[in-house]
């Protein structure tokens, strides 16, 4: 996405900072998954989780996510 220079100057943010803010907002509104948001922000999931924690934004992780993770672990022989 191309962000106009006028927007960057008005917000006094770099393009990467603005992308990060957009990713955090969309994740908080449950519009993006953790993976999608961290990719959009251009950082690792761990880095993005750190930002979320520093802003007290909870992770979206429910029973279905746990079941999916357990199934994935079974498939790769880690459980």
The pTM of the full predicted model, rounded to 2 decimals, is 0.71
- Here the tokens at position 53 are 């924690």
| DSSP per-residue letters across 31-54 | SS-HHHHHHHHTS-HHHHHHHHHH
pLDDT in tens, 38-48: 999 999 989 99
Q: Which of 22-26, 43-47, 66-70 comes out lowest in average pLDDT?
A: 66-70
Give me the half-sphere count of Cα atoms (radius 13 Å) on the Cβ side of residue 65: 7
CA-angle at 8, arms to 11 and 29, nearest 5°: 65
Domain that holds residue 56: 5-75
- How many domains does the chain fold into? 1
Q: What percent of the chain has pLDDT over 70?
A: 97
């Amino acid at each position: 996405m191309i962000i106009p220079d006028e927007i960057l100057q008005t917000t006094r943010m770099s393009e990467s900072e603005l992308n990060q803010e957009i990713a955090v907002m969309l994740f908080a509104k449950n519009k993006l998954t953790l993976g999608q948001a961290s990719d959009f922000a251009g950082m690792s999931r761990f880095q993005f989780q750190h930002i979320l924690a520093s802003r007290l934004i909870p992770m979206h992780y429910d029973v279905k996510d746990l079941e999916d993770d357990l199934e994935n672990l079974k498939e790769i022989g880690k459980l």
